[in-house]
Amino acid sequence: MTTGMGDALAGLARQRQAELDSAIAAWRAGAGVRLWCGPGCGNCCSLAVNTTLPEALAIADSLTDGQRQQVTVAVARITAHARESTDVRGFLAGYRRAVGSCPFLDAEANCSIYPVRPLACRALLATRPPDWCGVNLAELPELERDSFLASLDRSVVAFPTHYAAAPQELAANFERGLLFAMIRFAGFGVTGNLPLLVWLTGQDGFAEALTGGPAAFLPFLAAHQIHQPFLVQVEIP
């Protein structure tokens, strides 16, 4: 039963990822928007990524031992940064500096889990050259920042970022669907930090916590000291 639930959730995540890819392809065909994403651009892969637990299960199924070790190293940095952060704004603002690049980014700055990358990653499409994806706007001189923001087409981007808004809205809908599916399967839904959730699926007692409902899962999170709301979010209907 435990393995069946995890496999079912992972399979559903892969289906939703394929459906999002088709929806984004249709949007791109009609949008007339230039996108700059391509192999090796990698700068956006230093942002904090939130994903659903079904997607984390799909990713965990695909990992090599080396990738799992990289995830463990990243999680140590993430939890250390979380302990020093008083709120979600501080956590996100300092994430790039404290944690570094995604553990799934390879030496050529390509995604090593590309076929199963999260919905959020699939939908993050840049309308400006890749260098801008590595810039913290808060650290720019005011004149340069204001000039950049003024150059953005607010009918296209998720302002004040330069990432296209429509794909992110599509991904958010698919994520909500996955969350509701998990609630139907398990009685609760889980979203959270990407490397952390992937790491969590491999910890002793995870399967029992997943099938045990909120009464088992919440103590499981507390035992791993990762129950901060900006690390893992649990939705109980």
Residue by residue, pLDDT tens for the chain (237 residues) are 346 888 999 999 999 999 999 999 999 999 999 999 999 999 999 999 999 999 999 999 999 999 999 999 999 999 999 999 989 999 999 999 999 999 999 999 999 999 999 999 999 999 999 999 999 998 999 999 999 999 999 999 999 999 999 999 999 999 999 999 999 999 999 999 999 999 999 999 999 999 999 999 999 999 998 877 889 999 999
Residue of 105, 93, 121, 100 lying closest to 67 (CA atoms): 105
d(CA 147, CA 227): 40
Tokens 């507390």 map to which residue? 222
Per DSSP bridges, beta strands 232-235 and 50-52 are unpaired
| pLDDT the model gives residue 2 | 47
Give the pLDDT confidence score for residue 3 in this predicted structure: 63
What type of residue is 138? A
Q: Which two tokens stand for residue 92?
A: 């996100």
Alpha carbon distance 54, 175 (integer Å):
10
Q: How many domains does the chain have?
A: 1
Coil/strand/helix, residue 193: strand
Give residue 112's pLDDT: 97
Q: List phi, psi (to 5°) of 126.
A: -85, 135
Q: Give me the pLDDT at residue 5, please.
A: 86
Strand order, beta sheet including 50-52: 50-52, 189-193, 232-235
> Quick one: tokens of 206?
């995870």
CA 16 – CA 56 distance, rounded (Å): 13
Question: What distance in Å separates the CA atoms of residue 99 and residue 79, rounded to the nearest whole number?
Answer: 9
**Three-class secondary structure of residue 32 per DSSP:** coil
**What is the spatial distance between Cα 46 and Cα 92, in angstroms, rounded to a whole number?**
11
CA distance 140 to 154: 20
Query: Domain range holding 65?
Result: 2-235
